[in-house]
Structure 1
Amino acid sequence: MRKADIQAGPVHGKRHFRKLFRNFAAASLALSWLLGHPAGAQVGATFDLLEVKGVVYRSVKVVAVSSSTVTIRHSDGIAQLALRSLGPELQQRFGYSQAAEDLRELLLSTERKQQAAAQASLPRTVASPRPAARSDSAVGRALARFGTQAKLGEVDLRPRFRELELGTKSQGQRPSCAVFAVVSALEFQNAAAVGHAEKLSEEYLIWATRRTLGIPAGEARKVRLGPGEDDERDAGFVLDEVLSAVRAYGIPLQSELPNRFGLAMENIPDPDSEVIASARSRREVSTYMVPGVNNDVKIANIMHALNEGVPVVIGLGWPHWRSLRAPTLSEQAPMEGYSHAVTLVGYYSKTGQAADVHFIFKNSWGVRWGTGGYGFAEIGYLRRNLFEAVVIEVRSTGG
């Protein structure tokens, strides 16, 4: 696809997008006042018992908090709970505001409707191809098998990533692993949709995620660490926050908004309205959280996706770098209050047994880390430390 093909529509369409952006930016000021920030200081908090909607969790430790969820480790594994499902006292403790969430959803819903109406009004010289039915796509076939036993085979998408020249990137000093993991899967799925590779902008998605969260420009979102570490660090993002930003703002080419690693995330300026319009009009992106009553079911569903050639983005507990003498996650203990996001691109079992499965993941720490930027995770490690997983589907809008 030529660069000219991905530009926004005629001038009147760009003006409409500028108006939408100004209105949303003004409303975001009210949202940021209501929303505040997740209670990152609650990471590491413990509860003997925690009851949520009739489900009792025992020996609970909080491992991550976002604006809408809290991730806990408990006696039977790991769970991610919606803050809206908690009682008022816990909601206050974790910094949750129902009014802020309702306002954010209303703003995004209204903006998406206005965006769709504006896009529909733009003249098209060529009719957009009708997207294939979901059941006919690789993602659709994987979704149809969710909840069933996975066929054990061997999958390695690394050669395809190399063929597309979608190499391992480095996130630098920014705590943006979730953004890089999502973009890695997006680039791969986008290439499958349009027939060739395009490099996409992590810089833009960092900005968009902060925007949807209502974090004011120039303000970092800090989380306090435990003893023996630096007092504070930037909290970064969790997967559902990044995915919400993709759905709301789309993503442009990297050439339209290149990465500037010397710039702190809170200092990324607003992109030009033309870049935002281009990002939103280029692709139709659908995201699907991988379900499962426990991590065994989630892992089977992940294997269904990989068997269809679909990479899977995961968030998981992560060990201290000193315990990673080889790029394999096995028996290491994850650091308290720390998580990481990577893109699963395959799996294998040397014995042919499910208990010996190793997953292959693409990291975002550059090609010098691991095996050319890739690492491995034993199935047992994922059973104990997997937080969440998501598959992404991309369809061309004809633009």
Structure 2
Amino acid sequence: MKKDLLLIFLFLSSTVFAADSYEQLEVGSDIYQRVIVLSSNASSLSIRHSGGIAQVPLSKLPPEIQLKYGYDAALAADRDAALAAQRQKQAQAQLDRIAKAKAAQAREARRLASARGASASGAFARFGTQPALQTEVDLRDRFRRHGIRIRSQSGPSCSVHAIIAALEYQFAEGHGRALNLSESYLINTTSRSLGRPDAVGFDSETGRRNGLDLGFALEHVFQAIRGHGLALERSREERQSDQPYSILDTVDFSPFVVPGSGSRQGIENIVHVLNGNMPVVVGVSWPAYSRIAHTSVLGKQPVAPNGGHAVTIIGYRCEDGNIENAKFIFRNSWGDDWGAGGYGFFTYEYLINNLNTCYVVELK
């Protein structure tokens, strides 16, 4: 029992020998100069010497020094065995965590596959695999055919615009008819759900109306949809007469995370989704407006401190089959006078460095 208590004491604590110093200390075949002992445990000394700091085993020290520091070969062996067991336990715990994460990812992939149609399930089932890169996937014509025009945001609403554009597209693709959802309703309900004012201010840098708050995270908007639903956009006459919004009676809304944001695999997963003719809503770090006011390509621009923006990726171009050379087409919410008729392009390099969140959204 005393031996066990001594082992625990030596294992959990160390003793400092501030006054112990040696002009020279032999440790097996090694020789340390100008040594100061910092601490001791059952099997080793921690020392400072002329070349730095080292930990030396008591088993290799001369017998008189072993005796001075109470070296006991049996206690040292017990301590080393306990440390080895602890390291093995930690390694096994890490392996268990990895296995659990992989199992959860597999379950999520199966859930996504069963929750979506054939094209969607095919895309989700291929997550984590290398995609078949096409020369071009471009959903802009489909957006135009459905009558989903480029809007110009006002207030902290880039996330709202990105999500609604994707929802309107997915609904139109699935039902063959357009659904004009109200961004203003969703902005207001998101503000209320976060306890923020609805007031809209003016951004002197961008020259656009902008909310007092810098914006909503995509997850904030998802929360508002779950809590308050969606509404149809009001006509000018309805707005002027302050008629209430037409709230959709039932909203079967589903956001799905595209895993791997900020990695090559994450961008490959985006390609899988785009190959299935589905848009992807993303949150990205964003440059200052002055750096992109006159270009539609985001490549090497440095991002602004705390700068973020949400857009909808709706395609890509890859002429040589190398994903590092691909450009990803995104739909912005700054009106059709920005970029290429309201659209822009991310280089692979920009996405790999600045992609933060990534979702597929669906409205049934």
Query: Do the aligned residues in 1 keep the contact of 2:261 with 2:355 (CA within 8 Å)?
Result: no
Query: Do the aligned residues in 2 keep the contact of 1:190 with 1:198 (CA within 8 Å)?
Result: yes
Q: Deviations over 1:201-252 (max 9, x none)?
A: 001111121222233x56789xxxxxxxxxx952210111111112222211
Q: Deviations over 1:111-168 (max 9, x none)?
A: xxxxxxxxxxxxxxxxxxxxx9525343332222222222211210001011111111
The residue matched to 1:166 in structure 2 has which SS? coil
The residue matched to 2:351 in structure 1 has which SS? helix
| 2:328 pairs with 1:359 | yes
**Alignment of structure 1 residues 207-222 onto 2, 5 Å:** 207-215=188-196, 217=197
| 2:211 pairs with 1:243 | no
The one-letter amino acid of 2:143's match is F
Kindly tell me: are residues 358 and 219 of structure 1, through their superposed partners in 2, closer, same or farther at Cα, counting changes over 3 Å?
Answer: closer
Q: Which residue does 1:320 correspond to in 2?
A: 288
Distance 1:162 1:218 in 2: 31
Distance 2:303 2:151 in 1: 24
Q: Which residue does 1:206 correspond to in 2?
A: 187
Query: Offset at 1:335?
Result: 0.5
**Equivalent residue for 2:233, pick from 243, 254, 265:** 254
Distance 1:286 1:313 in 2: 13
Distance 1:374 1:288 in 2: 24
Distance 1:386 1:253 in 2: 31
**Alignment of structure 1 residues 296-315 onto 2, 5 Å:** 296-315=264-283
Kindly tell me: are residues 151 and 334 of structure 1, through their superposed partners in 2, closer, same or farther at Cα, counting changes over 3 Å?
Answer: same
Distance 1:251 1:292 in 2: 29
**Alignment of structure 1 residues 173-188 onto 2, 5 Å:** 174-188=155-169
Higher relative contact order structure (alpha carbons within 8 Å, sequence separation ≥ 6): 1
The one-letter amino acid of 1:197's match is A
Query: Do the aligned residues in 2 keep the contact of 1:290 with 1:390 (CA within 8 Å)?
Result: yes
Query: Do the aligned residues in 1 keep the contact of 2:296 with 2:339 (CA within 8 Å)?
Result: yes
Q: Deviations over 1:289-336 (max 9, x none)?
A: 211274222111111111101100101011122222311001100101
Query: Offset at 1:258?
Result: 9.2
Distance 1:211 1:286 in 2: 21
TM-score calculated relative to the size of structure 1:
0.56
Counting aligned pairs with the same residue, the percent is: 40
Q: Which runs of 5 or more residues in structure 1 are unaligned?
A: 1-131, 222-231, 261-268
| 2:353 pairs with 1:384 | yes
Q: How many residues align?
A: 243
Query: Do the aligned residues in 2 keep the contact of 1:330 with 1:377 (CA within 8 Å)?
Result: yes
Query: Do the aligned residues in 2 keep the contact of 1:139 with 1:391 (CA within 8 Å)?
Result: no
The residue matched to 1:196 in structure 2 has which SS? coil
Kindly tell me: are residues 313 and 293 of structure 1, through their superposed partners in 2, closer, same or farther at Cα, counting changes over 3 Å?
Answer: closer
Higher gyration radius (CA): 2
Kindly tell me: are residues 390 and 233 of structure 1, through their superposed partners in 2, closer, same or farther at Cα, counting changes over 3 Å?
Answer: same
The residue matched to 1:241 in structure 2 has which SS? helix
**Alignment of structure 1 residues 100-179 onto 2, 5 Å:** 134-153=115-134, 154-172=136-154, 174-179=155-160
Query: Do the aligned residues in 1 keep the contact of 2:262 with 2:356 (CA within 8 Å)?
Result: no
The one-letter amino acid of 2:220's match is E
Kindly tell me: are residues 258 and 164 of structure 1, through their superposed partners in 2, closer, same or farther at Cα, counting changes over 3 Å?
Answer: farther
**Alignment of structure 1 residues 11-50 onto 2, 5 Å:** none
Q: RMSD of the TM alignment (CA)? A: 3.0
Kindly tell me: are residues 134 and 157 of structure 1, through their superposed partners in 2, closer, same or farther at Cα, counting changes over 3 Å?
Answer: same
